[in-house]
Amino acid sequence: MATTGKVRCSKCGIESAATAELCDYCGASLHGAQDASTPAVEEPAAAAPGIGFPVPAMPFVGAVNSAGTSLTRRYTDAYAVSRTVIDLGSWVKVLGYVIGGVIALLGLVSAGQSQSSLGVIVLLSGLFSGAVTAASFFVAGVLVSALGQALAATLDTAVNTSPLLSQDEMRQIMSVG
């Protein structure tokens, strides 16, 4: 049997350097592992709950500590962006209420200063314009907030299905978001 300088993990089937003691992917012991030229025993992969297709086993956390830290920082930053977008949507709605109120107030003041029969028309125009402005900003704010919520939901899925994060890292990231 020719030696290729690689061994195949008996747990996950991934090739690692022959000098490695642990699998680079799953962290299983490579002592007694098969030579890379020998096919690994295939075990059916389990489907992740709710996903419906096979996913690899959780990798050995110690082997990806720097990647896990990098991912933790990346996901934490992404959750901060999500919260910022949601907050921006809320501010757009508040701004719409303020601008709509100012427009309605200007219509009320203009109608009060009018000496003709146009005062009622000016009042109704101001109230209508203020309401339309407030409603427009409200819809825009809801859409912006919905984008932030969609980002947060996508991040929740990514964090919960990441094979590079430990359960503790997942909990830490999710508690930040």
* Domain limits for position 118: 66-177
Any domain includes 61 = no
What average pLDDT score do residues 68-72 get? Answer: 71
Residue 58 located in a structural domain: no
Which pLDDT band holds residue 11 (cuts at 50, 70, 90)?
confident
Domain shared by 25 and 112, yes or no = no
What's the rounded Cα separation, in Å, for the pair 20 and 150?
42
- Residue 121 domain flag: yes
Q: Which residues contact 24 (CB under 8 A, 6 or more apart)?
A: 14, 16, 17, 63
DSSP 5-20: SEEE-TTT--EEETT-
Residue 154 covered by a domain? yes
Mean pLDDT of the chain: 78
Say whether both 40 and 92 belong to one domain: no
pLDDT higher than threshold 80 for residue 25: no
Does 145 share its domain with 172?
A: yes
Calculate ∠ Cα 161-64-18, nearest 5°: 120
158 and 119 in a single domain? The answer is yes
The Cβ of residue 158 has, within 10 Å, a number of other Cβ atoms equal to 15
- For the chain, the domain total comes to 2
